[in-house]
Amino acid sequence: MTNLLIVYYSQTGHNFEMAKWAEDEAKSKGVNIRLRKVRELADKANMNPAWEKYLEDSQDIEEASSEDLEWADGILISTPTRFGIVPAQMKLFIDSQGGLWAEGKLTNKVVSAMTSAQNNNGGQEMTLMSIYASMMHWGAIIVPPGYTDTSIFKAGGNPYGTSGTATNEGFANDLEDAVRHQVSRLIEITKKFNE
């Protein structure tokens, strides 16, 4: 059976919501799933109400580990963009996998990524490309959604990965179907690759 790791970072809940949509879709595909968050590094003394709510809503989600990556056949990464790049929390998690990388245990993992930002052009594509650059160093198999479904266009048309424009009320664009398509595509390719 296929093992899927959904690993995310979220500060105000947007990427957590995307990860939960992905988890729900993956459950419908009958794969083994681990939903994990990366460790928070920011000073919690400066929390805004949305951050506090997210921390409360996600308190039962386990933190991601190297063992989760080794277990996974497929990996879906969801993280916001910070000034056009991957936030420190997700970057630290990725950069901490040198031991697994050196042992060749990240080679041929099938990977896809999603992101969000406050602005339509707030660095989403650059964030996804920087994740994929790290995945190339791992020797991973990158599976972007491309333009393989009409949901991609409804979500804003990003072929590198579903990307949302975050607002105080949720998302400015219609993402759920695109997230579900992206995880379905990731599972399909992961199964084919691991036959």
The pair of three-digit structure tokens given for residue 116, joined into one six-digit string: 């969000």
Amino acid identity of 141? I
Please say whether the dihedral angle defined by the alpha carbons of residues 122, 116, 7 and 63, taken in this order, is positive or negative.
Answer: positive
Quote the Cα angle for 31-24-51, to 5°: 125
Listed range (17-26, 44-53, 125-134) with the worst mean pLDDT: 44-53
pTM confidence score: 0.96
Model pLDDT for residues 51-83, shown as the tens digit of each residue: 888 888 999 999 999 999 999 999 999 999 999
d(CA 22, CA 143): 15
- Higher-confidence residue of 174 and 48: namely 174
Amino acid identity of 74? G
DSSP state at residue 45: G
- Higher-confidence residue of 44 and 133: namely 133
Whether the Cβ atoms of residue 75 and residue 7 lie closer than 8 Å to each other? yes
Q: 103 pLDDT exceeds 90?
A: yes
* Region 168-181 average pLDDT: 91
Q: 45 pLDDT exceeds 80?
A: no
Q: 177 pLDDT exceeds 80?
A: yes
Q: 121 pLDDT exceeds 80?
A: no
* Region 23-49 average pLDDT: 92
d(CA 10, CA 51): 9
SS3 173: coil
Boundaries of domain holding 87: 3-193
CATH of the domain at 92: 3.40.50.360
Number of domains composing the chain: 1
